Structure formats: C-alpha cells, structure tokens
C-alpha cells in the first residue's frame, strides 16, 4: 500500500529532473498510480510499521470503502487533468501535480493521525506552487491567500493533534493510530476543544462559510487544471476529515456542535449559490457553486443519519466528477475566448455545439438533474436534512432551485443569443473530448447505477451512526 504513495512521489522527483519529455513521464506515472490504485483496492494488505517511537507514530495505511472511493476519484482525475493541461503548463506543474497526488492519496489512506496530518499539510506546498506558477495576473497574491488560510487551519489542527497526544500519553503509552485514539475516553471539555480545532481546519479546507473567501480568488487566478485538483481532490480532504476524524474520534462533541455546524452549512448553501448567480467570471462562479455543494455535504455529514452520511460520501465523489468536468470545460472555453468574463461571450452554441452540449450536461449534473449521479446523493442528503428538522430541509432544498438558476443562466448568457464572433471559434478537439467524455460517462453511469458507490460507503457509515445514536 505504501507503493500507492511512493509511485506518484517518485514520479514527481523524476519528472522534475527529467530533461526530455517530462510531461510524458509524468503522465506515465499518473497511469501507473491509477493501476496501482486499482490493484491495491483488491489485494494489498494494510501496512503498520513503527515510525517515531517516542511520539507513538506509526506508518500505518489502510483502505476501507470510503478510502477506496476517494482514492479512485484521485487516481482517475489526475491523468485526465494532465491531458487537459498539456498545452499551457510546463514540467514544474506536472511534477507538483504528482506530488500533490501522492500526499492526497496518503491522507485518504492514513490509519495514523500523525501521518494524516503530515500529508494534510504537505499537500499545500505543491498546491501553492501550482497556483503561483501558472494562472492569472494576480496569482501570487491568490497563492499567498490560499496558503495562509490553509496553513492557519493546519496549525489549529496541530493543536488538536497535540491534544490527542497528551490524552493518549496520560492513558498509557502514546499512540497516534486512529483505531487506538477512537478507544480513548476523552473528557467532555477536552473533546470539545479538540473538535473545535479539527472543525476549523476542515472548514477552511472544505471550505465552509465564513472561512471560504480564499476559494473564489484561488479558482479565479489558478488555471482550470489546478482548480480541478484543488476543489475536486484536495478540498475533499476537509469533508473526509469531518467524517473520519470529527465523527469518528469525538462523536459526543460532534453531536454537541451539530446545531452550529448545520447553520453554517445552510448559510454556505444559500450564500454560495446566491453569490454564484451574481458572478461574471466563469471560474469564480464555478468556485462558488462548490461552496454551496460543500455546504450540502457538511449538512449530510452532521445530520448524522445513515442516508445523510452515505449521501455525503457519494456527493463527494459525484461533486468531484461533475465539478471537474465543469472546470475543464470552462478552461477549454476560456482558451478559445481569451477571457473568463461571461458578459463578453454569447451565442457560442452554433459555433461550438459539442462544447455547449457537454457544458450543459455537466452543469445539469451540478444542478442535480435526475439521471445524473449528483441527483442521487443530493436527494439522500436532503432526506436527512428533513429528518433533522423540517426547516433545515426547506432551506436546503432552495439549493436545487438556485443551482438551476446559476447553471442555466450562465448557459444562456454564454451559449445562446446572436452568433456573430469577432474571430472564429473551434469546437472541442479529440484531446479535449478524451478528457471530458469519461467524466460525463461516469456521471451518467452512476446516475442510473449508484449501487456500487452506496455499497462501498454503507459499511463505513454504519458504525459511525451507531455510535452517535447510542450517544443520543
């Protein structure tokens, strides 16, 4: 299982120093990681070695159903994104992308909190350079803002990490294994503090209102392949951490904080969607829709019913796929028009029918159209919201209406209308289609056959819900 981390990591180093055809090497390593990911899913045994004995740190990796879904999402997206990025990114970007993949995979595999934390923080450096080295004119500022928010969250998480160490050494010999930590009997006050620290970190990561402000700036300035990796892979670590660590390790404190979290989630849902409607910059628009979606995911997690949690886990996968398609299509559109401003585009439907069609499908998936995969997860989350409280459900449902508005209105402004173009615009070429079609196919497939995803998520969710309901 360590290989799954080592292959992309070694790939990053090799890509960085390879003088000839570095991008091809990087792509090769991404494919190798994809294969390794598939193989490990079925065969590899868990890893558990002692790493830093005095601190109780183990190099422990394991993969449950939840981990499998996130690993799959990551290893599939990275090669696709690399194909999309080939024209306007140099080899540094490819090396950083592999490094990012390596550490992101490590967070999803970590069975030791310390390892999780190290990987959690280590993803930021590649992300920082990816934003800072490629993108819009203000990218350096955006990269700094991104990093400051994330590192701030990370240092708060460090507080929780140390808190666990203190509790764990008082209980006997220190151990950071998540399975050991789950058995600790943590006092109510300590548990709440730990929860708050973890939640702040994951809320910054996810992001959630009010610590979301880095998101739109980052997606605006970064190139779309970077944004895909950030929003579709990296941000999932936030919601992943909420389930794995907040609910898993401090369930009582999670139940205690649920009302506040739900309010924040609702604000994110509505506020993100409303802001998205008002955006003129297409990339900011997509970034802000994610704020709304992460609100829904968080809502499903903290409603803490079986449907809600399964729905949220599915949502993380589906959102990853749908938003990746949205970002990449937006990127293709922007390279054609030379601007991300919606108001300077119109009537592209005739010139680029394929681009328009795929954009509409991806957009409708985002808006939760039945038959496309995001619908399944959205319904499950909404059911859990109504279970929690009818008012919460009612507010959350507005997300669907607002989503339809921002998707369709954006489509209308960009693609419909008079067709005169200042310069000829070409439709998607084969490379671009090769990137988008698999994503759309996945959206359709899992829209009709969500079974495999649900059955992967079920066993992870069951014990969490049991613990929480036992607590109530």
Minimum CB–partner distance for residue 166 and another protein (Å):
5
- Distance between CA atoms of residues 465 and 468, nearest Å: 5
Cβ atoms within 10 Å, residue 344? 12
Q: What share of the chain is helix, strand, coil (3-state, %, to 5)?
A: 80, 5, 15
Restricted to residues 11-40, the positions that interact with another protein (CB under 8 A) are none
Q: State which of residues 3, 10, 32, 125 lies at the interface with another protein (CB under 8 A).
A: 125
Q: With binding defined as CB under 8 A, does residue 122 bind another protein?
A: yes
Q: State which of residues 6, 35, 39, 155 lies at the interface with another protein (CB under 8 A).
A: 155
Minimum CB–partner distance for residue 140 and another protein (Å):
4
> Among 73-81, 153-161, 258-266, 281-289, which window interacts with another protein (CB under 8 A)?
153-161
Minimum CB–partner distance for residue 133 and another protein (Å):
7
Q: With binding defined as CB under 8 A, does residue 51 bind another protein?
A: yes
Site string for another protein, 359-398 (x = CB under 8 A): ----------------------------------------
Q: Which residues contact 391 (CB under 8 A, 6 or more apart)?
A: none
Q: State which of residues 65, 67, 79, 132 lies at the interface with another protein (CB under 8 A).
A: 132
280 DSSP 8-state letter? S
Residue 134 has phi, psi (to 5 degrees) of -135, 135
As a dihedral over the C-alpha atoms of residue 234, residue 240, residue 246, residue 248, rounded to 10 degrees, the angle is -150
Q: Which residues contact 225 (CB under 8 A, 6 or more apart)?
A: 81, 82, 84, 85, 89, 93, 97, 327, 328, 331
Minimum CB–partner distance for residue 293 and another protein (Å):
28
Alpha helices in 183-342 (DSSP H): 188-205, 213-221, 224-227, 236-241, 248-249, 251-277, 282-303, 306-337
Q: State which of residues 6, 13, 39, 140 lies at the interface with another protein (CB under 8 A).
A: 140
Q: State which of residues 129, 199, 332, 359 lies at the interface with another protein (CB under 8 A).
A: 129
Q: Which residues contact 148 (CB under 8 A, 6 or more apart)?
A: none
Q: With binding defined as CB under 8 A, does residue 54 bind another protein?
A: yes
Q: State which of residues 14, 18, 144, 267 lies at the interface with another protein (CB under 8 A).
A: 144
> Is the CB of 211 or the CB of 317 nearer to another protein?
211
Phi and psi based region of residue 363 (left: phi greater than 0; alpha: psi -120 to 50; beta: remaining): alpha
Q: With binding defined as CB under 8 A, does residue 200 bind another protein?
A: no
Q: State which of residues 82, 147, 265, 288 lies at the interface with another protein (CB under 8 A).
A: 147
Q: Which spans of this chain sit near another protein (rule: CB under 8 A)?
A: 51-55, 117-118, 121-122, 124-125, 128-129, 132-133, 139-140, 143-144, 147-148, 151-152, 155-156, 158-159, 161-163, 165-166, 169, 174, 193
């Amino acid at each position: 299982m360590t290989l799954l981390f080592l292959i992309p990591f070694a790939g990053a180093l090799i890509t960085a120093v390879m003088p000839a055809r570095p991008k091809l090497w990087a792509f090769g390593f991404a494919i190798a990681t994809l294969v390794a990911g598939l193989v490990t899913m079925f065969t590899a045994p868990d890893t558990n070695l002692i790493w830093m004995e005095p601190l109780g740190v183990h190099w422990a990796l394991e993969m449950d159903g939840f981990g499998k879904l996130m690993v799959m999402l990551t290893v599939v997206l990275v090669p696709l994104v690399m194909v999309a990025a080939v024209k306007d990114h140099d080899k540094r970007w490819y090396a950083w992308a592999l490094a990012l993949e390596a550490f992101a995979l490590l967070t999803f595999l970590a069975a030791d909190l310390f390892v999780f934390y190290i990987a959690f923080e280590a993803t930021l450096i590649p992300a920082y350079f990816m934003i800072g080295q490629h993108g819009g004119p203000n990218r350096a500022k955006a990269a700094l803002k991104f990093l400051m928010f994330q590192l701030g969250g990370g240092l708060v998480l460090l507080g929780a990490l140390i808190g666990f160490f203190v509790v764990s050494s008082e209980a006997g010999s220190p151990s950071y294994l998540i399975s050991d930590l789950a058995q600790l009997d943590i006092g109510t006050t300590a548990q709440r503090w730990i929860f708050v620290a973890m939640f702040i970190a994951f809320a910054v990561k996810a992001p959630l209102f009010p610590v979301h402000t880095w998101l739109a700036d980052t997606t605006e300035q970064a190139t779309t392949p970077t944004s895909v990796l950030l929003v579709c892979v990296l941000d999932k670590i936030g919601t992943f951490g909420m389930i794995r660590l907040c609910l898993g390790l401090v369930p009582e404190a999670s139940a205690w904080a649920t009302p506040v979290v739900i309010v924040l989630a609702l604000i994110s849902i509505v506020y993100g969607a409303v802001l998205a409607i008002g955006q003129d910059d297409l990339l900011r628009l997509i970034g802000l829709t994610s704020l709304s979606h992460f609100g829904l995911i968080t809502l499903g997690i903290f409603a803490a019913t079986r449907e809600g949690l399964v729905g949220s886990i599915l949502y993380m996968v589906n959102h990853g796929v749908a938003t990746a398609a949205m970002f990449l299509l937006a990127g293709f559109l922007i390279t054609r028009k030379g601007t991300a401003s919606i108001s300077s585009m119109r009537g592209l439907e005739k010139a680029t029918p394929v681009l328009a069609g795929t954009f509409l499908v991806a957009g409708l998936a985002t808006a939760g159209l039945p038959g496309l995969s995001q619908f399944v997860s959205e319904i499950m989350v909404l059911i859990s919201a109504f279970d929690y409280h009818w008012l919460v459900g009612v507010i959350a449902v507005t997300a669907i209406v607002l989503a339809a508005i921002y998707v369709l209105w954006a489509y209308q402004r960009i693609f419909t209308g008079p067709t005169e173009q200042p310069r000829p615009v070409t439709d998607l070429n084969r490379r671009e289609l090769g990137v988008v079609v698999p994503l759309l196919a996945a959206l359709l497939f899992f829209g009709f056959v969500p079974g495999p995803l649900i059955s992967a998520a079920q066993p992870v969710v069951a014990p969490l819900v049991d613990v929480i309901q036992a607590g109530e």
